[in-house]
Chain A
Amino acid sequence: MSDQPEMIRVEAVSKSFTLHNQGSVRLPVFRDVNFSVRAGEVLVLAGASGAGKSSLLRILYGNYLPSSGRIEIRHDGEMVDIASALPRTILEVRRRTLGFVSQFLRVIPRVSALDIVRDPLLARGLDPAEATERAGAMLARLNLPERLWTLAPATFSGGEQQRVNIARSFVDPSPVMLIDEPTASLDARNRDVVVELIAEARSHGSAIVGIFHDETVRERVATRWLDITNFRAAADAA
């Protein structure tokens, strides 16, 4: 795997939250996190609840700001530091390179399941007819009944919404994928589909960082582990 390019390089990343309206209490999360992920690897984040796994994932996406450190993502052959990039640069990196798969779908009024899944393909310039076909194939693979495809997912069950979200994320896997609990409310059959999708994305060269509560899923997808507890920051006075 060492001949594959580094897609993610995390250098000396620390995070703490300061709650200004609650006595300016400062909550340290982790300190001096360093790692890199190459194309074709799945790095699984481990550590107890509250250790900062989700915070780290959000920092990699540019959704949370690190308190210090660099987060470099390979985009168009160049390393871009997400921690200091302009908003428009981060959005461009997200559009073509960096994907986030959460367990929750942000439902937008009136937008159908099929359109939600098609959206990233259209944003990358695919022909609408082909985008529709691929989106439908992905929803079918995740066993979402066809009668639901043209409906807005607001009324769907949690598991159905989650599958729409997964379909959207894997219909055209990004070179770098961040995955937060993708199988949380799925049955065994659909969980297996997600494991397959992750393996396929990896074999196509995606670099993946993920959090998986389900132990069997974790064992099946991981190529490496990172225990975030090793970077615990000492609680200190504000």
Chain B
Amino acid sequence: MNALVSPNALTGTLRPILSVRSVSRFYGERIGCADVSFDLWPGEVLGIVGESGSGKSTLLRCLSGIDRPDAGEVLFEATPGADFLEIFDLPEQDRRHLMRTAWGIVHQNPRDGLRMNVSAGGNVGERLMDRGDRHYGRIREAAADWLTRVEIEAARIDDQPRQFSGGMQQRLQIARVLVSNPRLVFMDEPTGGLDVSVQARLLDLLRVLVRDLGLAAIIVTHDLAVARLLTDRLMVMKDGRVVEAGLTDQVLDDPQHAYTQLLTSAVLAV
């Protein structure tokens, strides 16, 4: 069971921040993901687990506005109390703006989320400029503050990401995503490709940030230990469909579906 109970899932909130209705995406005859529906509430962290090819990354690309689903709706509350937006009904330009401001996307490979030839401070500050901030001193100050929060020395603010280790690049990407104070963050295998010791540090950092900021987040991972540490709820996917969903520790400790039982019994201890 979870040792630390997340304080975030506040029941007082009246409605979800994201409402996903019957989302499907096909690659020709092949199913990418089929008929996925769920609501995500403010402060909730949802994990999507399954093996490679299960459709979890396809689903994430649809939810985060990267790929248009073939059917279904993704409704998002951009600011508290605002009307839901159907993100794929928005003009391309508005959707891109939303993705850079109200949302954050943490890619598995930091190179997909960073500008490698721009300084660390520039990578973080760029997001504030997207939001309309123009005061150079304040932007630099906020960038330095975020570098410290993700445990990168502020003295390295002018270094380029290529001079950083893989773990540092990933932490820089997280700073770049969180600096604009998004309402919703998507993470695709955020600890994939990192050494175990580097993973542990990143996981702890993510755990604390998610908790302190009260973020809503959707995390795709094949690592059940990561899911247990970071998420409140889980969806288990197989062949493009959700086969089981529920409270994270319940799904992992008392799995009901044959496939989830296979997944949880295939690891030594989570």
Contact = CB atoms under 8 A, between A and B. Distances in A.
A63 B11 contact: no
Given A87-B233, A87-B247, A108 B4 contact: yes
Nearest to A105: B3
Tell which of A58, A92, A102, A107 has the most Cβ of chain B within 10 Å: A92
A40 interface: no
Nearest to A111: B204
Interface string B1-27: 111111111110000000000000000
Contact of A63 (B3, B233, B254): B254
Contacts of A123: 5, 7
Contact of A87 (B7, B246, B258, B261): B246
Dominant SS among interface residues on chain A: mixed
Contacts, number: 86
Contacts of A18: 256
Contacts of B258: 20-21
A63 B248 CA distance: 9
B7 A63 contact: no
Interface residues of B, number: 34
B257 interface: yes
Interface in A86-120: 87-92, 94-95, 100, 102, 105-111, 116, 119-120
Given A65-B254, A92-B10, A110-B204, A102 B1 contact: yes
A201 to B, nearest CB: 18
Interface of A: 17-21, 58, 61-65, 87-92, 94-95, 100, 102, 105-111, 116, 119-120, 122-123
Interface of B: 1-11, 41, 44, 200-201, 203-204, 207, 229, 232-233, 246-250, 253-254, 256-258, 261-262, 265
